[in-house]
Structure 1
């Protein structure tokens, strides 16, 4: 993560972001939830999906593209399976509302799932995995954005999918495992950041419209546009292609709303499933198995002695603890991106400095 040397207080960042969202018209409770979720993204090191999104969210509120208040519509409600229409409400608020709904059902039934159609963007998936660690749950979370496309199917040259992130979180004895991956090698957010900075990727993670490999994110903005490569790249991209289809089926397929419908703007279709560890073999048995696997991974002889094997999310959780204690470092592009909104609403990111 490239960041400035300045350190910000995490609570002050949440307050700043919530105030900015409120002044742009978002209801207070929603603003607090969205702000906290964005800051959690930065705390965990996912700095393209933290406060880097705030300026865009403010613009969406101002344009009426993100709904400012209201409730999702319940389309279907069975004990272990629920479908909502998110009504273009803020994605982080909808996901946390969904987890609040699912937690008691998963405790009663063992497993509970929610799919949300017509949500706005949901920010960093890893931020929601913290709740699984706290609640002795295994959480599976996925989302797609049916309103746009930037990833071609393996062997193709025209975009069909978004990066289609997929996340998994569960506790272990000394913390938790937090997997936050996507079906594409890189993301739109990182591609946009590198393009704006005039940078290229280290590896060929894109193709142009003729299928030629590229390190340059500018190919995404050519006419006709290039695309992001699926996980596995040009030789084994069938793996990422399969992941993309998995996410599409869990989101748009189960929601009955997706790429076959007219686009509505920046948004998401979301899939959430909670599994209660106590409902299957029990928490102790789960931890016995997963702690054993975790130990095998961590003690695995590293290919590079300077880079020991870590568990997914381990660095993020360590960084979160460090930044909560010592202050949050933000990517250098974040402060400039917020200047116009700050001028409109009379707020200063600098007020959150430690």
Structure 2
């Protein structure tokens, strides 16, 4: 899969790097020119850039052009707040009203953390959110506060993953995820309950690439590593996590996510489709309400130590914690500049021209000025 960035001059890979501030300002400016209020634009821009910082390039700025298209056609709402449909001491249900997903999730994280401070745990479920971007961005924020975050989402408006043993898709990749402190860098667990994601298969299909293994089945049930089978007739599907051998496990997890999201929200696959979006389950647990934050980090720190010191099966690949590579990459790219996937800037150039926003400048200054504000 191509990972080299692209620039107008065609310079060699590695030279097209951008500061996080440049990219955030660029995304913020595009969203603002598209009509998004300042607080929402800044939240969305920050979460998208977080994705690229940590190497989640299908859930970073690659999403910005589709988000702008959603705004233009009215698929993403811009003004107002979510409606609180139910509120108890440790839980709330929101109608997200199709407002920007990253902004909604950051609001929900703040509210769930507030509830957890008094009740030990706080849960916010959001129906009718728009897409919520990179989950690791939210994990980090919770873990840095000493909190445990459980986060899951589904999109009842789409279906690309078949139940185990089936040919017809029912689910989206339905990630189940968590972030928590472990005495050093936070742990960030992000597991799609399918073998791969829509973002990766769409990108590889556009590039003519293949998956590393037969993570798909075609419309006749034959295993395939070619994303083209998802677009041919009869359409294939993504397999549940575990694939053809143990996909019953991923299938079960997909159903769990549906229960936590659509079930608790009372809005999902039983309702008419409204367009690209998400139903979100977000739960914050405060270790201070149990054995204490220090005890939590002492225990998890020891587990982390034992994992890291486990003899590696391949001496060239020591054992890492989930999310560790992403945090290391984020620290490196924050210092040396963010390297974008090749297709991101070309997809955003038409939007930059449309809204009169300058493309971000390389660190070497080869692409001109920073975005207009």
Superposition TM-score tier, normalisation by shorter sequence:
over 0.9
- The CA distance in 2 between the partners of 1:349 and 1:240, in whole Å, is 41
Deviations 1:78-107 (A, max 9, x none): 111100000000000000011111112101
| Partner secondary structure for residue 348 of structure 1 | coil
Q: Which residue of 2 aligns with 1:103?
A: 113
Aligned to 2:368: none
Tell me which residue corresponds to 1:3: 4
CA distance in 1, matches of 2:115, 2:62: 34
Measure the CA separation in 1 of the matches of 2:111 and 2:91.
11
Determine the C-alpha separation between the residues in 2 that align with 1:67 and 1:179: 30
Coordinate RMSD, CA, aligned:
1.0
Contact 1:205 1:215 (8 Å CA) reproduced: yes
Equivalent residue of 2:17, what SS? Answer: coil
Shift of residue 353, structure 1, vs aligned partner: 4.2
- Residue 320 of structure 1 is matched in structure 2 by 330
Residue matched to 1:188 = 198
Which of 44, 47, 50 does residue 57 from structure 2 map onto? 47
Contact persistence 2:26–2:360 (CA under 8 A): no
Checking the alignment, whether the CA contact within 8 Å between 1:25 and 1:62 is kept in structure 2 is no
* 8 Å contact kept, 1:323–1:329: yes
Q: TM-score, normalised by structure 2?
A: 0.93
Match of 1:286 among 288, 296, 302: 296
Structure 1 partner of 2:9: none
**Counterpart for residue 238 of structure 1:** 248
Query: What residue in structure 2 maps to residue 72 of structure 1?
Result: 82
How far did 1:209 drift?
Answer: 1.2
Structure 1 residue ranges (4+ consecutive) displaced by more than 2 angstroms after TM superposition: 348-354
In structure 1, the gaps of 5 or more residues are none
Distance (whole Å) between structure 2 residues aligned to residue 224 and residue 87 of structure 1: 34
User: Alpha-carbon deviation of 1:352?
Assistant: 5.8
Aligned to 2:45: 35
Provide the aligned length of Structure 1 versus Structure 2: 354
Equivalent residue for 1:201? Answer: 211
Query: Which runs of structure 2 are paired with 1:153-172 in the superposition (5 Å)?
Result: 153-172=163-182
Name which of structure 1's ranges 305-314 and 286-295 shifts more when overlaid on structure 2: 286-295
The answer (yes or no) to whether the contact 1:163–1:184 under 8 Å persists in 2 is yes
Which residue among 257, 262, 265 is the counterpart of 1:255? 265
Whole-angstrom distance in 2 between the partners of 1:247 and 1:343: 40
Residue 285 of structure 1: how far off its partner (Å)? 1.4
3-state SS, counterpart of residue 299 of structure 2? helix
TM-score of the superposed pair, with normalisation by structure 1: 0.98
CA offset digits 1:31-59 (Å, max 9, x no partner): 00000000001111100000000000000
Give distance in 2, aligned partners of 1:330 and 1:58: 19
Q: Deviations over 1:107-166 (max 9, x none)?
A: 111001000000000001111011112111000000000001000000001100000011
For residues 352 and 169 of structure 1, the distance between their equivalents in structure 2, rounded to whole angstroms, comes to 33
Instruction: Give the corresponding residue for 2:369.
Output: none
2:371 is aligned to none
Matched residue, 1:348: 358
Distance in 1 (CA, whole Å) between partners of 2:33 and 2:294 is 47
Q: Distance in 2 between matches of 1:336 and 1:62?
A: 19
Residues 150, 283 of structure 2: 8 Å contact kept: yes
Aligned mates of 1:316, 1:50 — CA distance in 2: 13
The aligned residue for residue 24 of structure 1 is 34
**Residue 300 (str. 1) matches residue 310 (str. 2):** yes
1:272 aligns with 2:282: yes
Instruction: Name the residue aligned to 1:88.
Output: 98
